[in-house]
Amino acid sequence: MSREKKILRKWYLVYSKPRQETVAKVNLERQGYETYLPLMRAPRRRKGKMVSVVAPMFPRYLFIHLNSETDNWAPIRSTLGVVSVVRFGRDPSEVPDKLIAVLRGREDDTGIHVLPPDEYKAGARVRITQGGFAGYEGIFHSANSRQRVTVLLDLLGRRAQVHVDTDFIEPAS
Q: Fold for 125-171, please state it.
A: SH3 type barrels. (2.30.30)
Count other Cβ atoms within 10 Å, centred on residue 126. 21
pLDDT number for residue 2: 42
Beta pairing class for 10-16 and 158-165: unpaired
pLDDT number for residue 41: 80
- The closest of 56, 6, 7 to 35, measured between CA atoms, is 56
Q: Tens digits of per-residue pLDDT, 95-123?
A: 999 999 988 988 888 888 866 555 677 88
pLDDT number for residue 136: 86
Domain ranges of the chain: 10-113, 125-171
**Residues facing residue 36 across a β-bridge:** 63
Q: Which CATH number fits domain 10-113: 3.30.70.940, 2.40.40.20, 3.40.50.300, 3.40.50.880?
A: 3.30.70.940
pLDDT number for residue 22: 96
Whether 113 and 57 have beta carbons less than 8 Å apart is answered as: yes
Whether 3 and 61 have beta carbons less than 8 Å apart is answered as: no
pLDDT number for residue 160: 83
pTM beyond 0.75: no
Instruction: Please give the average pLDDT of every successive group of 10 residues along the chain, which has 173 residues.
Output: 62 96 97 95 72 87 93 93 93 91 88 69 84 85 73 80 82 76
